[in-house]
Amino acid sequence: MKMESPAAPDLTRAAAAFAALGSEQRLSVLRTLVRAGPEGLSIGTLGDRAGVTGSTLTHHVKILASAGLVTQARQGRSIICAAVAFDEVQTLSDFLLTECCADTETPHG
């Protein structure tokens, strides 16, 4: 049942992705992008909607992007950001849960 997914995360990458989500501002930014859907938003609009602007927003978006949760592409004089959290969150969840109970002694009874 394994579907084509973003790169399998190692511990370091998974922790970095969770850490990227672990800030109220960044989580708010990402949810704004999730709401906006695949078309994405410019940095300016994103900042207005999420309530974070300027260099602070640049900083947070960079962290989300390097965690693989957001893409950025220049379009004219704006940078369009879009969430790619959809698959990524499933991947992170899998990373955490797949080995569930692997250490238990009596898997077959």
Partner DNA sequence: CAATCAATTCGAAAATTATCGAAATAAACC
Partner DNA sequence: GGTTTATTTCGATAATTTTCGAATTGATTG
Query: Binding of a copy of itself at residue 43 (CB under 8 A)?
Result: no
- Which DSSP state fits 65? H
Residue 94 neighbours by CB under 8 Å, 6+ apart: none
Query: Binding of a copy of itself at residue 56 (CB under 8 A)?
Result: no
Q: Which of these ranges, 30-38, 70-78, 84-92, 100-108, lies near DNA under the rule CB under 7 A?
A: 70-78
Residue 90 neighbours by CB under 8 Å, 6+ apart: 5
Query: Measured from the CB of residue 77, what is the shortest distance to a copy of itself in angstroms?
Result: 23
- Which DSSP state fits 44? H
Query: Binding of DNA at residue 61 (CB under 7 A)?
Result: yes
Query: Binding of DNA at residue 60 (CB under 7 A)?
Result: yes
Query: Binding of DNA at residue 7 (CB under 7 A)?
Result: no
Contact assessment for residue 26 and residue 64, using Cβ atoms and an 8 Å cutoff: yes
Query: Binding of DNA at residue 108 (CB under 7 A)?
Result: no
